[in-house]
Amino acid sequence: MTQLLKDLTPRQIVAELDQYIIGQHDAKRNVAIALRNRWRRMNSTADMQREITPNNILMIGATGVGKTEIARRLAKIADAPFIKVEASKFTEVGYVGRDVESMVRDLVEQAVNMVRSAKKEAVQVRAQQLVEDAILDILIPPVKPTNGQSGVGFENASADPDAELNERTRERFREKIRSGEMDDRKIDIDVQQSQAPNIGIMGGSVDDLSMMNIQEMIGGMMPKRGKKRKVTIAEARVILLEEEAAKLIDMDEVKEEAIRKAEDAGIIFIDEIDKVASARSGNGGGGPDVSREGVQRDLLPIVEGSAVNTKYGVIHTDHILFIAAGAFHVAKPSDLIPELQGRFPIRVELQSLSEDDFYQILKEPKNALTKQYVAMLQTEDVSLTFQDDALRELARIAFEVNGDVENIGARRLQTVLSHLMNDFMFDIPDVIGANAHVVVTKELVGEKLNGLVKNRDLSQFIL
């Protein structure tokens, strides 16, 4: 990861984000600096590494302007574990909700999955060879060594005609397995099954970590039992590859690396933090405000830096990057408790999206909705083209509906475009066959959507 961050300057990070997110340059600049600072910290002297803390970011902006997408794309650029949580789901002890430490455990789980996947890629070739051998052993068992020989191979096979024939037959079948000729043939394989039962606890609540530890402990005590399954060779290859790859991976090494990755590179995105901010109304802080402030005080030690127990080991949150976000329509950032405000020193206000922004969102990003529809119809051998004035009309309608009904930002584009394309998606391939060319024009957009927009009451239900 250090090498990856070294090759990404803040300008390059912003350029990467520009490929997916329109506008919001201040937010992009700040997250790019925060990401580059991680490399700077890890390359500082050992005593300074402990002192340099991340500049956590508070994003302020309405829904659908790109807050979550910026954080998610940042994590992908850095190949970092990323978790999104909603602050309103956490409560202090005594109220119904989730334990705030669960977000750190989820982050570690994500890190373990990432490291395990990388390790699997590294042993993939060796695992494939072992799977081939296992399938061959089922199809054509090797000749058992005789006369005290330790095994059969080409060197000693010449002394045993049966062994030589067996070995040559196995090699021919190996080529057929590799070429896929035998994918549909069925074989019996042994699949390992854990006998761990589902466990319920009576007589009181048990936190997530304790329940996971109990399940894992009892699962380890229960014997693993093999089950015979009749599957095709293609299916067996997938099942056995997973098992063989798992055997080649050192899980202790995976856990250690995952903990380091989560501590040094992890990003936790706390959404809806404005929902737990208590507006100062002078009522003495009663009712639901008690719970909201309790959530903030529970979040504070995690954001400040603390040790959290997970089933993979202890993780320190001191250098995890926290990005909080909220619309702050009712409450203000200053309504957060002062200690928590201080832990988010970088504040970025994201701009509301304009009609031109909507047009750019439909046209430019790599993952633009229009490009997604083009890709989907290509699977049906149907070509799809959006004319430029049609995109501008879609942007105008989405912007107008946001103003008249409820502003949900760029998410409105998905609703509008879905309504526009539904008839085509339903008629392909039964009515609109292969090799057809669908062209979306401004007139077509107007025909399908303008009538709905004019009727505001109806648009509330449809758009």
Annotated binding site: 22, 64-69, 271, 339, 411
Q: Are strands 225-232 and 186-193 parallel, antiparallel or unpaired?
A: antiparallel
Binding residues for ATP: 22, 64-69, 271, 339, 411
Beta carbons within 10 angstroms of residue 228's beta carbon: 8
| Those residues with Cβ within 8 angstroms of residue 281's Cβ, 6 or more apart along the chain or in another chain | none
What is d(CA 249, CA 411) in angstroms, rounded to the nearest whole number? 42
**String of b and e for 389-411 (b: at least 16 CB within 10 Å)?**
ebbbbbbbbbbbbbeebebbbbe
Residue 455 · residue 402 · CB < 8 Å? no
Which position has the token pair 């879609």?
394
What is d(CA 161, CA 168) in angstroms, rounded to the nearest whole number? 11
What is d(CA 273, CA 54) in angstroms, rounded to the nearest whole number? 19
Number of helices (H), then strands (E), in the chain: 20, 11
Residue 260 CB-half CA count within 13 A: 10
Residue 54 · residue 305 · CB < 8 Å? no
Alpha helices in 7-58 (DSSP H): 10-18, 25-42, 46-51
**Separation in Å, CA 127 to CA 175, 189, 334:** 17, 16, 56
Tokens encoding 451: 């009538």
Tokens encoding 98: 């989730």
What is d(CA 269, CA 247) in angstroms, rounded to the nearest whole number? 34
Task: Give the chain's largest Cα–Cα span.
Answer: 97
For residue 57, list its beta bridge partners. Answer: 323, 346
What is d(CA 166, CA 141) in angstroms, rounded to the nearest whole number? 8
What is d(CA 293, CA 337) in angstroms, rounded to the nearest whole number? 7
